[in-house]
Structure 1
Amino acid sequence: MKLKSSSFSGYCVGFLLLQVMTSTSEKWTVTIPTAHLVAIVGGQTELHCQLSPPQSAKYMEVSWFKGDHSKLVHLYRDGHEVKGEAAPEYVDRTEFVKEAIGEGKVALRLHNIRVSDNGTYQCSFKDSNFSSVASMDLSVAATSLGIQILVHPPNTKGLLVECNTGGWFPQPQMEWRDSRGEIIPPTSISHSQDTEKLFHMKMTLLLKQSSHRNVTCCLRNPVTGQEERTSIVLSDQLFPWNLIWRLILGIILALLVLFIMVPSIDLYDRLQDCLRKMRNPIVVGIIIILLSIGVIASLISYLHHKIRVPASDPHFQLDTMWLEDITVILCVLTVFITMIISFIYFRFRGKWDGK
């Protein structure tokens, strides 16, 4: 009896030791050297994973999934790569790197990176008794295809400058800056995505005066931190309304200086005499010119400050063309009416003088 009891006890101890050794040899985990990767559209990247402690994974099942095991990217099983089970978008774009598979180190090389590859991936190892999974994030980025700045024809609203660029992912940060590097608030920012989910950006800036002659369109990729910028120097000739206002102001100031600085001209008496007799052609001509300039300036000021559609509105160009046409028509009518008034005055002045 004692022999049987001791034999049974030894059998139990051996069985427990075997279980401990077996469980110890089976307990391993999957680790990754980098939890967050950044890849550029059109390039390639490698998703590395390995066993810890190191051991051969030659006859294990190794697989990569995107998301929560919802989309198979690549599968290795029983010493061979299994073709035809991966998701269609990954066919012919993956390569299994297994030079160090004897140490439990493998990698999946992903070629021709697309925007759709952005997301979380899982690397899974599995044998007949145990399995383990590790996750990693892949952030896809794309730089621009170039930045283009367009300058629209000036109008009474101001000068519209437009910055266009495409081929970005994710959506970039976009802003205008002046020559000192300070941010200029944009008039509008819009974006769209093409079939490959790349962002195309459009930003406009309406300049009402020539204080910002040097403007820069700046874009920054939030993933890579890469910045791209393009500058343009605007000529004063692109701000014709500034020149018009300066010309009008200069004429008015010149006339005022003429009447004030010349001592032989008594402005008050001459105006009183003109209003009383209306026979002085110089004063009448000056009054007509000043009235014409005042009417034109008032009309331009009214049209310029009248509430109109914003620059971001699709009908902005149509509204601008209408505004320019109306301004030209009003200016022509004002000049025409001025000529008629002058003609009538000088026509009847001869009759007045003959009386």
Structure 2
Amino acid sequence: MGAKGVLATHCVILYLLQMVALSSEEFTVAGLTGPVLAPLGGNLELSCQLSPPQNAQHMEIRWFRNLYTQPVHLYRNGKDLHGETISKYVERTELLKDDIGKGKVTLKIFNVSASDDGPYHCIFKDGQFYEEHIIEVKVTVTSSDIQILMHPPNTKGVMLECHSGGWFPLPHMEWRDSKGEVIPATSKSHSQDINKLFNVKMVLFIEAYYHRNVTCCFRNLLTHQEESISIVLSDELFSWRRVWITILSLIACVLIAFLLTSCVQQYPIFGKYSKGLCPWKKSAMLFMISMFAIGGVNLILYQRQRVPVSDPHFELDTLWVEDISVVLCVLIVFIIKLISFIYFRLKGNYERNASKKIWFM
């Protein structure tokens, strides 16, 4: 073989070595493509793989959350560098390297918290060349701690509050009737505690004439797991309204009977005063008109909604209307009794004085 042949052979070998070196630098990183569900408090494993498979022991392998601002775990020069990870991941991560010779590593996170939710970047770096893969993690937890708080019923209805805590992510909330149909909630609200878990509240206002069984439901949108609690509302819940109306009616009837009886005693139907006009008839009519006026005012106040049901002051506003109604009724009764007492007291004094004058004459 001549010099030219040897030179050509060396050029071919050098070209092939460059191609091999170049191909060894070019790779991609593969891993899970769909979201990974991670139960709260459990352990999470995230794997990524070089393609084509090759030894990654000499490479830098970095796991991070948001670019390089939230490092999770770092492997460099054949060692795990825990000192470069942020505090919330210290002693909570481990890089499993059983298959690192084939380009596969697995990040293990212990005691998953709600703050671990989100994307994770896996990056392999060989010299100046690097590639990454992103895995989406969805932390999930479902709570069975559900309570229904029933406010004291008022003239308009009853307010129900459904509370639950310890959810992640934010659950779907709805009220349902006995047929399973959704009842529009009056209001919904939520907050997060120091562990980023959601505490939720759902309010429902049921009008007094519309009684039924209602169920408070919360559903985890990731696992589709549902938790619920039911409450039975019966007519007996609002029986106090009928009792209150009955008591007021009895008071009105007793007062009217008392006034009419006093009138008949003072002005008998058959006698020399039979043609006289009973002044207590006017009082009785005035009392009845007053009672009807109070009823009309109360009806207007009940029907007129000054504060929307979703407003936190709605219950206070309704109780104010009830208190005003009770005060008006008590005032009417007190005034009628006072007038009756004063009238009979003055009339008795007048009759005694008149009899004394007749006796002295």
TM-score bucket (shorter structure) = 0.7 to 0.9
Query: Offset of 1:206 from its aligned partner?
Result: 1.3
Query: Offset of 1:241 from its aligned partner?
Result: 6.7
Output one character per residue of 1:269-305: Cα deviation in whole Å (capped at 9) or x when no partner.
xxxxxxx9877x9x99997896566344323312212
Measured in 2, the distance between the counterparts of 1:207 and 1:74 equals 54
Residues 345 and 53 of structure 1, relative CA distance in 2, 3 Å threshold: same
Partner of 1:268: none
- 1:92 pairs with 2:70: no
Query: Offset of 1:86 from its aligned partner?
Result: 0.6
Query: Offset of 1:48 from its aligned partner?
Result: 0.9
Q: Check conservation: 2:211, 2:235, Cα contact below 8 A.
A: no
Aligned ranges for residues 234-313 of structure 1 at < 5 Å? Answer: 234-240=233-239, 243=242, 291=289, 294-313=292-311
Measured in 2, the distance between the counterparts of 1:277 and 1:12 equals 142
Measured in 1, the distance between the counterparts of 2:177 and 2:286 equals 44
Partner of 1:191: 190
Partner SS for 1:232: strand
Measured in 2, the distance between the counterparts of 1:238 and 1:289 equals 32
Query: Offset of 1:137 from its aligned partner?
Result: 0.7
Partner of 1:318: 316
Measured in 1, the distance between the counterparts of 2:246 and 2:179 equals 30
Output one character per residue of 1:189-219: Cα deviation in whole Å (capped at 9) or x when no partner.
1222222222221211111124232111111
Letter in 2 for 1:13: V
Aligned ranges for residues 28-177 of structure 1 at < 5 Å? Answer: 28-128=27-127, 130-144=129-143, 146-177=145-176
CA RMSD of aligned residues (A): 3.5
Query: Offset of 1:171 from its aligned partner?
Result: 1.9
Letter in 2 for 1:72: P
Q: Check conservation: 1:295, 1:334, Cα contact below 8 A.
A: no
Letter in 2 for 1:313: D
Measured in 2, the distance between the counterparts of 1:337 and 1:346 equals 14
Letter in 1 for 2:330: V
Measured in 2, the distance between the counterparts of 1:157 and 1:68 equals 56
What TM-score do you get using the length of structure 1 for normalisation?
Answer: 0.78
Residues 84 and 278 of structure 1, relative CA distance in 2, 3 Å threshold: farther
Partner SS for 2:316: helix
Residues 13 and 239 of structure 1, relative CA distance in 2, 3 Å threshold: same
Output one character per residue of 1:136-166: Cα deviation in whole Å (capped at 9) or x when no partner.
1112223236111000111123211111111
Larger Rg: 2
Partner of 1:263: none
Residue correspondences, number: 324
Partner SS for 1:239: helix
Residues 204 and 33 of structure 1, relative CA distance in 2, 3 Å threshold: closer
Letter in 2 for 1:52: S
Q: Check conservation: 1:31, 1:134, Cα contact below 8 A.
A: yes
Measured in 1, the distance between the counterparts of 2:97 and 2:277 equals 105
Residues 307 and 317 of structure 1, relative CA distance in 2, 3 Å threshold: closer
Q: Check conservation: 2:63, 2:72, Cα contact below 8 A.
A: yes
Measured in 2, the distance between the counterparts of 1:4 and 1:39 equals 67
Query: Offset of 1:242 from its aligned partner?
Result: 5.7
Query: Offset of 1:317 from its aligned partner?
Result: 4.3
Measured in 2, the distance between the counterparts of 1:145 and 1:92 equals 31
Residues 100 and 212 of structure 1, relative CA distance in 2, 3 Å threshold: farther
Residues 84 and 152 of structure 1, relative CA distance in 2, 3 Å threshold: same
Residues 5 and 158 of structure 1, relative CA distance in 2, 3 Å threshold: same
Larger mean CA deviation between 303-312 and 194-203 belongs to: 303-312
Residues 300 and 244 of structure 1, relative CA distance in 2, 3 Å threshold: farther
Give percent identity, aligned residues only. Answer: 50
Measured in 2, the distance between the counterparts of 1:190 and 1:86 equals 36
Partner of 2:25: 26
Partner SS for 2:179: coil
What TM-score do you get using the length of structure 2 for normalisation?
Answer: 0.77
Structure 2 unmatched ranges of 5 or more: 251-274, 346-361
Measured in 1, the distance between the counterparts of 2:239 and 2:308 equals 21
Letter in 1 for 2:93: T
Residues 278 and 185 of structure 1, relative CA distance in 2, 3 Å threshold: farther
Q: Check conservation: 1:296, 1:334, Cα contact below 8 A.
A: no
Residues 278 and 58 of structure 1, relative CA distance in 2, 3 Å threshold: farther
Letter in 1 for 2:118: G
Structure 1 unmatched ranges of 5 or more: 252-275, 348-355
Query: Offset of 1:117 from its aligned partner?
Result: 1.4
